[in-house]
Structure 1
Amino acid sequence: MAVRVKICGITRLQDLHAACDAGADALGFVFYEKSPRHLTVESAAMLVRDLPPFVQAVGLFVNAGADFIETVLQTVPLDLLQFHGDETAADCMRFGRPWIKAVRVNQDTDLLKCAADFDAARGLLLDAWVPGVPGGSGERFDWSLIPPDLSRPIVLSGGLTPDNVAEAVRRVRPWAVDVSSGVEASKGIKDAHKIARFIANAKEAS
């Protein structure tokens, strides 16, 4: 199975083109004001309009109000919603769009229960648990904490880089990998060479 690759935190048109040219399957657009990769609704709409066919647009939200998410959906043609906060399954389902739920993993995380609680999700995005940070920390977690019999597809995130993504794909065998800071020149600014290496290494390992 060829692993899918999502490049998250796209803020510039040139980064969008670099990711698509390198073979990204999905791009992430962040609607969380505390993130250095945050976009306005108008900026996100402009970027998503430039996506080529068959590359998914993913909108990332953290405890966002339903009215705000509805406003985004009226303007930005998102294919998938990604929830990174304390949202319940009912919160995630109310928009009638496919969605995934992010889970921050440490030794106390019951991933089997998470998979059962969010059984309507297209998958679980597994990220590192860092106090006070809902995601995008660039920290790696212990992959051995992932049970082999999760009922939902895994999107592996957290501290992935062009140098370790092949190992991650071989060891975890996730459905997809997700990277943001690991392919950046600076916060919110992607590095086209790192993107190309990341995608090539991930695909080759799978």
Structure 2
Amino acid sequence: MRIKVCGMKEAENIRELLDLQPDYLGFIFFEKSPRYVGESFDPEIIREIPRSVRKVGVFVNASIDQVIRTVKKYALDYVQLHGEETPDFCRSLQFKGVNIIKAFRVDDTFNFSQLNNYKPVCDYFLFDTKASQYGGTGIAFDWALLERYDNEKPFFLSGGIGPEDAEVILDLKERTGLKIHAVDINSKFEIEPGLKDIALVRDFIERLKAEEIEA
């Protein structure tokens, strides 16, 4: 199972994290987020990341032009759309060659049938907790709700995932057959917003990989 570490913005912290060989690193380009990279964020910090680590830019209800400019400036591999972006919006980005992760905020009223229109225009889905803010809440949703999903498109599991959840996630995947492409970790692995605790991330990755080998 792949690992995405989201909400990165400190250069030295990013370099330390790269030693753990995550599969994806997420950078937030939403000004209202406490993990916003900021307007002065040096593109070379992202451009220096090895190609084996996929670089994801996170956007919330941004314009197509803003997304495209940012993708080019930072050489992003994927964009994660975390707002109310429509299938047509995704299609427009897809037409311009952008790889798309579309996030959906899930609670017990979530209608999974709405995903059907997004399937042709997204590479992956991401399921997060429904809350008043966009991501980084530290609160998990009821993962049992994912058993309502038709499981056609692989997805990122997000929302309040903590260091203790490695075994639970692998059990969920094995028990249900859900196509969990990657686990998206963020706020529960932080010293402060945007600064990850390297030891916590290392332990989580090691436990996840060890459990997979045993399985």
TM over 0.5: yes
Identity of aligned residues (%): 33
Query: In the alignment, what sits opposite 2:62?
Result: 64
**Whole-angstrom CA distance in 1 between matches of 2:42 and 2:207:** 28
2:192 maps to 186
**Equivalent residue letter for 2:156:** V
Q: Secondary structure of 2:41's partner?
A: helix
Distance 2:44 2:141 in 1: 34
Give the aligned residue type for 1:135. Answer: G
1:54 to 52, 55, 77: 52
Aligned equivalents of 1:80, 1:22: Cα separation in 2: 20
Question: What is the match of residue 199 of structure 1?
Answer: 205
1:18 is displaced (CA, Å) by: 2.4
Q: Does 1:103 align with 2:109?
A: no
Kept in 2, the 8 Å contact 1:102–1:127? The answer is yes
> Which structure has the highest helix share of the two?
2
For this pair of structures, how many residues does the alignment match?
A: 202
Would the alpha carbon gap of residues 153 and 43 (structure 1) be closer, same or farther in structure 2, given more than 3 Å must change? same
- Secondary structure in 1 aligned to 2:80? strand
TM-score by length of 1: 0.92
Which of 63, 82, 93 is residue 80 of structure 2 equivalent to?
Answer: 82
Among 84, 89, 92, the alignment partner of 1:91 is 89
Give the structure-2-normalised TM-score: 0.88
Contact kept in structure 2, 1:11 and 1:39, CA below 8 Å = yes
| 8 A contact 1:24–1:55 mirrored in 2 | yes
- Find the counterpart in structure 2 of residue 152 from structure 1: 153
Which AA in structure 1 matches 2:139?
Answer: E
Q: Quick one: structure 1 residues 159 and 73, their matched pair in 2 at CA, closer, same or farther if it must change by over 3 Å?
A: same
Distance 1:44 1:171, change over 3 A: farther
- Shift, 1:41, TM fit: 5.0
Unaligned runs of at least 5 residues, structure 2: none
Secondary structure of the 1:22 match is coil
Equivalent residue, structure 2, for 1:171: 172
2:107 and 2:123 map into 1 onto residues whose CA distance is 22
Contact 1:89 1:117 in 2 (8 A): yes
Distance 1:202 1:93, change over 3 A: farther
Closer/same/farther in 2, CA of residues 44 and 25 from structure 1, 3 Å limit: farther
Which structure 1 residue ranges, 5 or more long, are not aligned?
Answer: none
Distance in 2, matches of 1:205 and 1:155, equals 19
Cα gap change, 1:48 to 1:82, in 2 (>3 Å): same
Q: Distance in 1 between matches of 2:25 and 2:82?
A: 16
- Shifted more, 21-30 versus 41-50: the winner is 41-50
Alpha-carbon distance, 1:19 to partner = 2.2
| 1:36–1:187 CA contact under 8 A, matched in 2 | yes
Question: Which moves more between the two structures, 42-51 or 61-70?
Answer: 42-51
Instruction: Report the residue type matching 2:109 in the other structure.
Output: D
Q: Over the residues paired in the alignment, what is the CA RMSD in angstroms? A: 1.6
Q: Is 1:122–2:120 an aligned residue pair? A: no
How much does 1:53 deviate? 2.6
Amino acid at match of 1:139: I
Cα distance in 2 for partners of 1:37, 1:46 equals 18
The structure showing larger relative contact order (alpha-carbon pairs under 8 Å, at least 6 residues apart) is: 1
SS in 1 for 2:19: helix
CA distance in 1, matches of 2:126, 2:8: 18
Equivalent residues of 2:3, 2:24 under 8 A apart: yes
The match for 1:28 is 26
